[in-house]
Amino acid sequence: MAVLKVHGSPISTATQRVLVTIIEKGLEYDLLFVNLAEGEHKREPFISLNPFGQVPAFEDGDLKLFESRAITQYIAHDYASSGTPLISFEKMPVMVNWMEVEAHHFEPVASVLGWELVYKPMFGMTTDAAAVEENEAKLATVLDVYEKRLGQSKYLGGDEFTLADLHHLPYLNCLMGTPTKKIFESRPCVSAWSQDILARPSWAKVLDLQKH
């Protein structure tokens, strides 16, 4: 079996999404560091791996992929018998529905809040308070839907932890270090769910990679 190759950076949320999937699966991998500060993701040889000039890129033997959620789905399906299942074959359509919710309702809002509250201060830029207020209101509406769903099943896709939950980890973690965490904490089912999935040992290992 080829060792999986992840080209990226442990500070990138999309790279984190791929790494936590591989670690949940207990698979061997090499993390090939792409220096974002030096713009390595915007030039060759990297853009031959990801033509949009964004991390990560992924290789498994001859197969090359670059969208983080396509990579996680490939790993979950093609290494189905290793580690945590991460997909529910029985409830696949429902799991996919909630994966789409993450992509089209959660991330567009969470990524703006992450940019304003975490990444802009990190780069010495000024947070736009109006953008924070607007997106916190949108997030509250999204999490009201999550609260109802998580009152019916322990995880978004059903009673097992799947990619539908896992895909949230990078931005959940990012926002838990900001005042926006109150929007999660004020909803009991959302709060229990986010604490549960953030406590997975695989996620601690991803965070550890940022220390090196």
Binding residues (CB under 8 A) for a copy of itself: these are 51-52, 63, 65-70, 73-74, 77-78, 92-94, 96-97, 99-101, 103-105, 108, 142, 145, 148-149
Q: Would you say 146 or 184 has its CB closer to a copy of itself?
A: 146
Nearest distance from residue 56's CB to a copy of itself, in Å?
12
Q: Do residues 65 and 4 make contact, with C-beta atoms less than 8 angstroms apart?
A: no
Q: Do residues 13 and 171 make contact, with C-beta atoms less than 8 angstroms apart?
A: yes
β-bridge pairing 63-65 and 57-60: antiparallel
Query: Six-digit token pair at 155?
Result: 């995880």
Q: Would you say 157 or 200 has its CB closer to a copy of itself?
A: 157
Nearest distance from residue 212's CB to a copy of itself, in Å?
29
Q: Would you say 149 or 154 has its CB closer to a copy of itself?
A: 149
Nearest distance from residue 64's CB to a copy of itself, in Å?
9
Nearest distance from residue 36's CB to a copy of itself, in Å?
18
3-state secondary structure of 168: coil
Q: Would you say 77 or 182 has its CB closer to a copy of itself?
A: 77
Nearest distance from residue 199's CB to a copy of itself, in Å?
27
CB atoms within 10 A of CB 151: 11
d(CA 116, CA 118): 6
Q: Give CA torsion, residues 13, 18, 21, 26, to 10 deg.
A: -120
Nearest distance from residue 91's CB to a copy of itself, in Å?
10
Q: Would you say 34 or 57 has its CB closer to a copy of itself?
A: 57
Q: Do residues 172 and 197 make contact, with C-beta atoms less than 8 angstroms apart?
A: yes
Q: Would you say 70 or 207 has its CB closer to a copy of itself?
A: 70
Identify the H or E element spanning 63: strand 63-65
End-to-end CA distance of the chain, in Å?
Answer: 27
